[in-house]
Structures are given as structure tokens and as C-alpha cells.
Structure 1
Amino acid sequence: MNLFSLLDQTTVLPSFAVGSKKELINALVDALEEKVESKEQLEEIRQAVFEREKIMSTGVGKGLAIPHAKTSSVDDNLAAFALLEEPLDFDSIDDEPVRLVFLLVGPESNNSQHIKLLSRISRLMNSGSFRETILNCSSTDEILNAFQGEEEKYFVS
């Protein structure tokens, strides 16, 4: 499974403006609405992501946050991505604000797949040139094309 296949026009938020970490996470979860069957399922995802965030911030440094959770309310991995218009405080481990935010939600029953996807996000976003490419994107299509191109360079699905 590749990251690109988890993203589409409804789950990528380019030039996104928010005022708080909570507002950002809520917007990313809301972007998954078309991927789930009910409002209840969406709320279970939201609760799981916020519960995980309480344990420790998912601001991993270098301007990136990867809010994530596992929940029994989904059978497949779901993702959303936001490129923030302005840097946002995310309680990151390096105390730097974030502009790149990748939400990942997976089923509780498939821990190894969830860890592999988190690792793939980290490796992909660890590339300074890729982060710069994403930061220079101004549309959903540009972001999707950037992810697809970068994954094709480094990963075989």
C-alpha cells in the first residue's frame, strides 16, 4: 500500500488556514467523511485521534505532524493531508511550528500495516527536497502529483 492511494481530492487540503491544533485535527478528520459510512464512525475516528494526541504530541519535527490512531470503527487505512497557509504550533518535539500535517487512521486489527505506513510517511517527509516541493504546491493536484512522484522514486508497492 502506498500513501498516494490513500489521498484524493477530498482528503488533501492545500493552503489551509486554521487557528489551532484542535481545529486542524477536526478539519482533517472531517475530510474523511466521504470515506466512512456514518457520522458515528467519523466521531469514533475523531475521538481516537484526540486520545492518541493526549498521550504525546504527534508533531515529529521539521515542520511535520502525523496525527494518527487505530480504531475498531474502520476496516481500512484512511488518510488526509493538509498544507497549512501559516505555521501552527503543534507542541512538536523540536518546538517548531508545523505546516505539513498527515493524518493516518487504521484498523486496530492491523497494527503492522499501520506502523509500516507511519514509517513510510516519516521516511518520505524526512527528505528536505520533498518537503520543499510540497511547501511550494498551491493546489490539491500539485500535492497529489508530488506524493505520487516521490513514492514512485523510492518505494515499490
Structure 2
Amino acid sequence: MHTTEIHQLLSPRAISVGLPGATKTDVLNNLIDLLQGHPLVQDLEAVRAAVFEREEMMSTGVGKGLALPHAKTAAVSGTVAAFAVTAAPVPFDAIDHLPVRLLFLLVGTEAAKSQHIKVLSRVSRLMNQEAFRERLLQAGSAEEVLTIFTESEAELLEF
């Protein structure tokens, strides 16, 4: 699947509201664990290694309480995503030094570089809207998060 639509990449089982973890390492591990059993993930531990390797290069804490951990690896056969709202703010070495509560994980193949960039760009555009971030922080379920992404992406495409 080469979609750049976020709501098509996410599924309720890859979304967590109230993700536990007090440290960056904890929340990243718990976020990656949401991909357990995903049909496009061949090797979850290789995905984990790729995400942490990318994170060591530079923090993916992009500011405004958001982190966009991402990686490219042969451990997946297509683009996969996970999303979480943490139970509490987590120090993340973010660019603005603020703790993180929203995490969007994107993992794809080297061949899907263009799709990877488009999805990250789309997530960034949505997350730049304070009202969107607030809706996600208030969400009570994975299904509600998915609905928020679906509705907000439709509005984004109208412009």
C-alpha cells in the first residue's frame, strides 16, 4: 500500500491512548510494541533497532509536545504506522525542550522514500494546528483518534 493518507496507515490496534512510560526509551519501546503482529512487519526487533538508531542521530521530538520517530528498514514489507498519546508528559530532548505527549511512528522501506516524506509532511501539517493536537490529547479511545485523523485529513484535502 502506497497511500499517504494517515488514517489508512493506522488501525485501532496500532493506536494507544494513555501509553505508559516515564522515559523516552520506555515510550518508544511501548510505541514500537503496538506494531506487534502487524502483517507488514517481518521483524519487530529489527524495526526497534532501526527506530532507535535513527533517534540516536537526532531527536525526533519536533516541538509542541510532538515526536515523529521514523525509520526505513527491510524489516517491513510496506509502510506501517502507530500513534500514541502518552499517559503523562515525557522528556524527549525535543527541539523546543518541551516534554512530549503525542507520538507518531512511521516505518517504511528504502524504496518508499517519497511516500515516507509525504506522510511525515502531512502529519506535520496537521500537528501544526493547535486545535488538532488538543482533540488528540482529549481522545478517549483508539477509534476516536482514528476518527480525528480521518476528519482532519478530509479538511486538509479541501484546501
Q: Structure 1 length as normaliser, TM-score? A: 0.94
Pairing 1:1-157 to 2, within 5 Å after superposition: 1=3, 2-36=5-39, 41-155=43-157
For 1:33, what is the secondary structure of its paired residue?
A: coil
Detail structure 1 runs of 4+ shifted over 6 Å in the superposition. Answer: none
| Percent of matched pairs sharing the same residue | 47
CA displacement at 1:75 relative to structure 2: 2.1
For 1:78 and 1:108, the matched residues in 2 are separated by: 13
C-alpha displacement of 1:61: 0.1
Alignment root-mean-square deviation, CA: 1.4
Question: Deviation digits for residues 113-148 of structure 1, max 9, x if unmatched?
Answer: 111111111111111110011111111111111111
**Cα offset, 1:37, TM superposition:** 6.5
Distance 1:16 1:46 in 2: 17
Conserved 8 A contact 2:79-2:112: no
Separation (CA, whole Å) in 2 of partners of 1:113 and 1:84 = 26
Letter in 2 for 1:101: L
> Aligned AA for 1:8?
S
Q: Is the 8 A contact 1:72 1:109 kept in 2?
A: no
The separation in 1 between residues aligned to 2:112 and 2:137, in whole angstroms, is 32
Unaligned runs of 5+ in 2: none
Q: Normalized against structure 2, the TM-score is what?
A: 0.93
Q: Secondary structure at the match of 1:5?
A: helix
